Amino acid sequence: MTLADLYSCFAVQQLFDPTKVTSAPVTFTSDAVSVRPAFQTLIIVNVGAVITAGTLDVKLTECDTADGVYTDVVGGAFTQYTKDRDDRVETARVISTERKKFLKVVSTVTDGNASFGITALRLVTDTGNADTTTLTL
């Protein structure tokens, strides 16, 4: 596969611009991400510093319609980020055929401040690897 082929396989959507939260508590909800017709979607959480007693919680929610009522994805919560568990990049791989059509990411910062950004990377071309049946966090 050439680099040009690889480039045409993915669609990138910034869900949260790199953000520094200095007055908590605050909750952010991303725009809806259509996980179809993509074969897989990778949610990338890039966490900088989490200060003092602060925490950052990130979870996935889903719905059949973009503007509907979203429910939590079972097993779709990232392990809580704290000052002892910050400065990292983590991912969740979503197999589109096993999810509702739309995802949103909800992040909550409490008791302190945190810096983070979240991106969705959608595989829009079948590479033959879309047979996995689990959500990996």
What are the structural domains, with CATH classification, of the chain? 3-123 (2.60.120.660)
Predicted confidence at residue 67, as pLDDT, reads 94
Predicted confidence at residue 57, as pLDDT, reads 94
Predicted confidence at residue 132, as pLDDT, reads 34
Predicted confidence at residue 126, as pLDDT, reads 55
Per-residue burial over 37-51, b if 16 or more Cβ lie within 10 Å, else e, is ebbbbbbebbbbebb
Reported as a single tens digit per residue, the pLDDT across 33-55 is 888 776 788 899 999 989 878 89
Intervals of the chain under pLDDT 50: 1, 3-4, 128-137
Residue ranges with strand state E in the chain: 10-21, 26-29, 33-34, 40-51, 55-63, 71-77, 88-95, 102-110, 113-123
Predicted confidence at residue 2, as pLDDT, reads 52
Reported as a single tens digit per residue, the pLDDT across 112-122 is 788 899 998 88
What is the average pLDDT value for the chain, to the nearest integer? Answer: 81
